Amino acid sequence: MNKKEQYTGCTISSNQTSCFENLTDEEKNLLEKNSVRVNYKKGETICKQGSFSTHIMFIEKGLVKVYLEEKTNTLVLKIVPSCNLLGLTSINEDFITYQYSALAYFETEIIQIDIHFFRKLLIGNAVFAREVINILNRNSVQVNGRFFCFTHKQSYGRMADIIICLSDRVFKNTEFELLLNRNEIAELSGMSTETVVRLLRKFKDDGLIETGNKYLKILDYDRLKIISEHG
């Protein structure tokens, strides 16, 4: 991984796990028997920091905020789209509680996998275990890069990061419905809501984006990418 990739400021996970493809047919059948499907509405808590970790969670569809809580303060670590896993820190039996909270940004479908069964899969299938380790490593690199950029990028670059990440990693399109409000974008980018509003207006005036009622369209992706990379 080169330096540019390592120090991306993107808040949104780029992982799309394929680890389950390495299971045998028998393991897949057992996985289904040890899993349940749960639907969450916008704003519902998926897991709570400090609660007992009983499941590993696979995001079938939706978008999830992962964050730390300390009294009245919160710190967003990342946002996670579909085809990703949550709660992997709990595969270490030293961590019997969830190390972070997770919340559904909008309607989200989660497959909950019994954590004891998940640990058995890790012990019994080396290729599966290797893929899970790779996911943990990529998660660490992403979070490290995010906070490195928080200390080195100006607000202009951080806003470009968020827009490009939403385009590339969530909606897969340069025009999309903007499901996050200004407060939520501010929370992700580590800026005030007022700064977010001002920057979106400036990006629009500069011909970088077009915005309307709950939608955003990127007009000049290349310029936006340059701003993102150079901060």
Cβ within 8 Å of residue 75, ≥6 positions away: 67, 68
Residue 176 sits at φ, ψ, to 5 deg, of -155, 160
Report the number of distinct structural domains present in the chain. Answer: 2
Q: Which of 131, 149, 167 is the last residue of a domain?
A: 149
> Both 135 and 162 in a single domain?
no
Q: What is the pLDDT of residue 47?
A: 96
Residues of the chain with pLDDT under 50: 1-9
> Both 169 and 140 in a single domain?
no
> Both 117 and 205 in a single domain?
no
The CATH number of the domain holding residue 195 is 1.10.10.10
> Both 103 and 184 in a single domain?
no
Express each pLDDT in 129-181 by its tens digit: 999 998 888 888 777 777 777 777 888 888 998 898 888 887 889 999 887 88
> Both 74 and 142 in a single domain?
yes
> Both 144 and 167 in a single domain?
no
> Both 34 and 76 in a single domain?
yes
Structural domain including 203 reads 153-230
> Both 127 and 187 in a single domain?
no
- Which tokens in the block code for residue 43? 């704003």
> Both 144 and 159 in a single domain?
no
Task: Give the H/E segment covering residue 61.
Answer: strand 55-61
The CATH number of the domain holding residue 118 is 2.60.120.10
> Both 103 and 215 in a single domain?
no
Distance, in Å, from the CA atom of 14 to the CA atom of 91, rounded to the nearest integer, reads 21
Q: What is the pLDDT of residue 11?
A: 53
Q: What is the pLDDT of residue 4?
A: 41
